[in-house]
Chains A and B, each alone.
Chain A
Amino acid sequence: MKLRKLSMAALALGLLAAPEAFAQGEQFVPVTIYRTGAYANTGAPLMVGYMDYMAMLNERDGGVGGVKLTWEECETGYQNDRMVECYERLKGKGPTGAAVFNPLGTGLTYAILEKAAADKIPIVSLGYGRTDSTDGRVFPYSFPLITNYWSQSTAKIKFIAVKEGGMDKLKGKKIANVHHDSAYGKETIPVLDEQAKKYGFEVKHYPVAHPGLDQKATWLQIRQARPDWVILRGWGVMSQVSIKEAAAIGFARDKMVGVYWSGSEQDTVPAGDAAKGYISAAMHGSGTAFPVVQDVIRHVYDKGKGNGDKKEIGTVMWNRGIIHGLVNIEAIIVAQAKFGKKPLKGEEVQFGLENLNFTAERVKALGAENLLPPFKTSCRDHEGQAPVKFQQWDGQKWVMISDWVTTDQSIVRPMIEVSAASYAKEKNITPRSC
């Protein structure tokens, strides 16, 4: 009996944990993170970068427009059910509730997409998430910002065409799409099929089951199929295994193009020499030669207030966290200009996200020149159609090998509108007119 009481007491203690007091003039930003599980090595540094950026703003500028930023971590473990729990736990915190959620996972985004729309809290899925939610008329609270999966895929095909010597040279080429067998991995299948039809190349899809440690069979098939290019849509430990397997069958690494999420140090360093020459799409630059990164080092890490390990600064994933900070906080700045310098509600931040305008001057003022591509959002377009760069691993670091490659909206936008319209019909949503 003693045991029962003890465990009950422990339970009660945990569940009734007193909510921390938030001061009136604070903006609460929820941070959902996964420091445990199969994807922790790529997921955690990103959210650490995000928190570091907010910490830097608090130190340097005293917050945003005089409003201090506060945040609380919640561990999702990259599991949808834990994401729902975290969402419910964090959505009401702070004086005005959660400003904006960054689920950091396509499956996780799907899990809270409709809940957040009902609660009027925006979701930013920066470079991931549900692609057709780019249509802001049907999905007012979802923002797959910068470049969604389909746009990125068109840029990738363009890049391959440049390497081959022109769009017309794609005809008859064979492309293998090695993808993580999940909502994330499958998201580009329709757009690749569409592009294959348009440009006359052949695309074959090779699913790799979670977590992707065993890919021998997949790569044997690829060796038999002899594709000209391999598109790698890996996540977490899967990407490095793919690179190693490609080396094992002797497939040229400089004919492999990874997605944003397969292009970090976590994917190449463990693969060792096998990764040399491997190419991936890049949302942004890596390294520390950006004023905003220097500010984070000076105001946060030099004061011993960093949220993570100092050696992660400047890696692709950590820098992507800075990008998350720049974009999310910019939305708060835009919204503050309209609603006043006070803690904002989710639906006010939604206005900010819909009216982002990262001009070259604005990017420079933020100290993120060459880190963040210029882009602009609207009520119709929740993405921004930012261009994509490509980077190559030289064995030590990522080196940019292309200029900004624009996406092909003539393919993507009609597909998004068709898909969003069928969603609207299924759910009885009347699209906003704009």
Chain B
Amino acid sequence: MLYREAGQFKTSYPADQAIFPIPQDRWSLAIVLVAAFAVVPMVANNYWLVSILIPFLVFSLAALGLNILTGYAGQVSLGTGGFMAVGAFAAYNLAVRLPQLNYIVDFALAGLIAAAVGVLFGLPSLRIKGFYLAVATLAAQFFIEWLFTRVPWFTNYSSSGVITAPKMQMFGFDLSDPVSRYLITLCIVTVLTLAAKNMVRSAVGRSWMAIRDMDIAAEIIGIRPLHTKLLAFAVSSFYCGVAGALWVFFYIGAVEPQAFDINRSFQVLFMVIIGGLGSVLGSFLGAGFIVFLPIALNNAAALFGGALQADTLSHLELIIFGGLIIFFLIVEPLGLARLWQIGKEKLRLWPFPH
């Protein structure tokens, strides 16, 4: 009943092709956005903003980037951490060396630099497919991490190899308090998500999916693999690069290249797999799962403080986390996004299922 489309007639093509054709979706999205922009800054405390919501948004963006490449275009990548590092170090160097630039410009340029690097490392995808491509993208991961560790110019000759984000100022306002950091991150993530949503339902997205489903068939119907695959790498790396920049500037504040090691790539890959391959919503659900759950388990563990040994609790956190991942993948191998879809279908019939 809640999701019933019966009686909603589209009278024009634009209405039928709208980004959210069903009013229920439009309304719920509007409510989520109002909540995120207006309610959250008023009610959330610093702990929630700084250590939960900002990393959630940053990871959502990275997962969205990887989802475009892996979920939509079908190119498996393990280089996400590397591309995030490119974005982070590019934004840092732009901010330090060209302080007159606005940070938004920095982030955009950092994203473009990451996109260029992504295209470079995407070239092998024209010849290598599937798991072999995953191994090839590992080269990007290890080379980039090595580069930033070894060449001191990238870290502005910091002796320890750590870069620290400069003070956030934009148009003369100080933006270093948690609420502004959250709001800027939210704005960037919202705009890029909207762009991604539109990309994947346009000709570009359809060509990605065609390549994913069968590249030879796609080539025969006139989709050029070179352009399509490299575009997917470019867009994906752009998103990851911006996410890396946000990670440094709005979340941690100080990172070493090791913050973007292979584990980071795996973490984002798990978000995409758990959230749902080929789904924008899935990127957010997956990021939520991976970011929230360990912290929630850790907090929950504090409740049992007296009952169990502290070291047992720390290890239980990992065990439960791993167990839940397996559980969700068994219950729904297509990810949390598919669970949500099933939920929507049930809501359509509720409360009178067949």
Contacts and interface: CB of A to CB of B under 8 A. Distances in A.
State yes or no: do A and B come from one complex.
yes
Interface in A387-414: none
A84 B252 contact: yes
B299 A114 contact: no
A114 B256 contact: no
A111 B300 contact: no
B339 interface: yes
Interface stretch (B11-19, B187-195, B310-318): B310-318
Interface string A175-197: 00000011110110110000000
Contact of B254 (A89, A114, A131): A114
A15 B159 contact: no
A434 interface: no
Residue from A110, A114, A189 whose CB has the most chain B CB atoms within 10 Å? A110
B298 A75 contact: yes
Nearest to B177: A118
7 contacts: A10-B300, A14-B295, A74-B298, A88-B47, A111-B255, A186-B161, A187-B159
Interface in B212-247: none
Contacts of A189: 159
Q: Interface of chain B, helix or strand or loop or mixed?
A: helix
B343 A15 contact: no
Interface of A: 1, 3-4, 7, 10-11, 13-15, 17, 20, 33, 35-36, 44, 72-75, 80-82, 84-85, 87-89, 92, 106-107, 110-111, 113-115, 118, 130-131, 181-184, 186-187, 189-190, 207, 210, 307-308, 419, 426-428
B259 interface: yes
Contacts of A210: 258, 261
A33 B298 CA distance: 13
Contacts of A115: 253
B314 A35 contact: yes
A72 B261 contact: no
Given A35-B314, A186-B159, A110 B164 contact: yes
The 8 closest A-B pairs by CB, nearest first: A14-B296, A14-B300, A85-B51, A35-B314, A183-B160, A88-B51, A110-B254, A35-B311
A337 to B, nearest CB: 32
Contacts of B294: 82
A191 to B, nearest CB: 9
A290 B331 CA distance: 57
B182 interface: no
A80 B264 CA distance: 12
A173 to B, nearest CB: 23
A4 B52 CA distance: 20
Given A11-B296, A75-B317, A182-B258, A35 B252 contact: no
A35 B258 contact: no
A17 B162 contact: no
A35 B167 contact: no
B55 A17 contact: no
Contacts of B149: 181, 207
B353 to A, nearest CB: 11
A7 B298 CA distance: 15
A186 B162 CA distance: 10
Given A75-B314, A110-B162, A183-B162, 18 more contacts: A11-B296, A13-B300, A17-B302, A20-B302, A35-B314, A36-B314, A36-B317, A73-B310, A81-B252, A84-B251, A87-B51, A88-B51, A111-B255, A113-B254, A118-B176, A181-B149, A190-B159, A427-B167
Contacts of A130: 160
B51 A17 contact: no
Nearest to B350: A1
A428 B167 contact: yes
Given A107-B256, A183-B256, A81 B299 contact: no
B293 interface: yes
B46 interface: yes
B160 A1 contact: no
A91 B339 CA distance: 38
A17 B252 contact: no
Contacts of B259: 80-81, 107
A74 B255 CA distance: 21
A257 to B, nearest CB: 21
Nearest to B261: A210
A419 B296 contact: no
Contact of B50 (A88, A181, A426): A88
Contacts of A75: 298, 314, 317
Contacts of B199: none
B292 interface: yes
Contact of A80 (B166, B176, B255, B300): B255
